[in-house]
Structure 1
Amino acid sequence: MPRPISIPTLKAGEVEAIDALYQGTKDVRRRTHAQIILLAGEQGMIAPEIAGIVRTDDQTVRNWFKRWMAEGIEGFKDRPMPDAPSKVTKAYKEQALMAVRCRPRALCQPYSMWTYQRLADYMAEQTGIRVSSETLRRVLLEGGIVLSRPQHKVSSPDPDYLLKKDD
């Protein structure tokens, strides 16, 4: 069982600063972090009680206690997370743009129109790189291409078709 951890009672200036952050932020995580410290420092609540209120686990609350004591209000900010390297290379983008400009049947595919998912599957077969249909949508958008649903148009070779249609 983890040993109990508590934070000292908050000073008036600390309460005002945390409350201003709590009331003013639109970032849900920062608001929750502020709430954890306010509940502990103002009301003397312990980690399990706070965890039940903010719907997290005891250890997360204890971690925020420790961070508060070490860094103060600056500790409410999330630390920057390193970005994962992108799977989508320049060559992949170029190949996707070339593929989408071709009819699927010309590339031996069993359908007549591209969808983002179909194109993602085709590109995975061709390149070995699997990306989501949303990622592929963004790649195509960068290239100025947006896939849309087909617009079905009813027409007739009859020269009087438009006149007859209006009747």
Structure 2
Amino acid sequence: MPAPLRIVLTESEDRTLSELRVAKTVAQRTRDRAQMLRLNAQGWVVPAIAEIFECQEQTVRETIRRWQQQGLGGLWDASGRGAKAKWQEADMAYLEQCLEQEARTYNSQQLAQKLEQERQVNLSADRIRRILKKRALVGSGLDTRNGADKILSTKHSSKPT
């Protein structure tokens, strides 16, 4: 049976981990990792820590090893996690430009088709609608008359200027 993983914390490291454990701006997973390390330094064994945090023993071991190799920086998740964006800022700028310059209105389905045909970016109509709504296009809005979801250009708005 291998020797149990054990870390020794300096007073300043323990204080840092203690502050990190209660920091509200830090992700919960990172705060849990800080507490795992403090418990290990206090003499708790890996299986007991895993039971407290309701996780696998391997998770606790990885946390301890990351601390040993990377220090405080090893507590945070590595970058690059999650799905990558399928669109770029330039794609939305292109759509905005089309809405402003072309002499027609587009609904979100038409914008999705235009984006796929001209820029090879495949987004759903709903996703495009949400992105543009979030960007809060100046002068544009959703036309909800008769249930229509049309994104109107400022040039062709029915509002008098």
- Could you say which TM-score interval applies, normalised by the shorter chain? 0.5 to 0.7
Aligned ranges 1:118-129 → 2 under 5 Å: 118-119=109-110, 121-123=112-114, 125-127=116-118, 128-129=120-121
Give the number of the structure with larger relative contact order, counting CA–CA contacts within 8 Å between residues 6 or more apart. 2
Cα drift, residue 142 of structure 1? 6.7
Check whether the contact 2:30–2:75 (CA below 8 A) recurs between aligned residues.
yes
CA distance in 1, matches of 2:14, 2:89: 49
Normalised by the length of structure 1, the TM-score is 0.58
Bigger drift between 91-100 and 125-134 goes to: 91-100
Distance 2:86 2:139 in 1: 21
Unaligned stretches of 5+ residues in structure 1:
105-113, 153-167
Give the secondary-structure state (helix, strand or coil) at the position aligned to 2:142. coil
Partner of 1:164: none
**Partner in structure 2 of residue 157 of structure 1:** none
Question: Match for 1:138 among 131, 135, 141?
Answer: 131
Aligned to 1:65: 64
The offset of 1:95, in angstroms, is 4.4
Measured at CA, do residues 91 and 138 of structure 1 come closer, stay the same or move farther in structure 2, by a change above 3 Å? closer
1:70-109 equivalences under 5 Å are 70-81=69-80, 84=84, 87-88=87-88, 90=90, 93-95=93-95, 97-98=97-98, 102-104=104-106
Cα 1:144/1:79, change in 2 over 3 Å: same
- Aligned positions, number: 139
Instruction: After TM superposition, give the deviation of residue 6 of structure 1 in Å.
Output: 1.2
* Structure 2 stretches lacking a partner, 5+ long: 147-161
Match of 1:130, SS state, is coil
- When normalised by structure 2's length, the TM-score is 0.59
Match of 1:31, as an amino acid?
A: R
Summarize the Cα distance change of 1:144–1:59 in structure 2 as closer, same or farther, 3 Å threshold. farther
Whether the aligned pair in 2 keeps the contact of 1:33 and 1:76 (CA below 8 Å) is: yes
How far apart, CA to CA, are the structure 1 residues paired with 2:115 and 2:85?
A: 18
1:121/1:148 CA distance change after superposition, 3 Å = same
Corresponding residue to 1:150 among 131, 144, 153:
144
Q: What are the Cα deviations for residues 42-72 of structure 1, in whole angstroms up to 9, with x where unaligned?
A: 24131x4333333433322211110111233
With 119-128 and 33-42 compared, the bigger mean Cα shift is at 119-128
Aligned counterpart, 2:49: 50
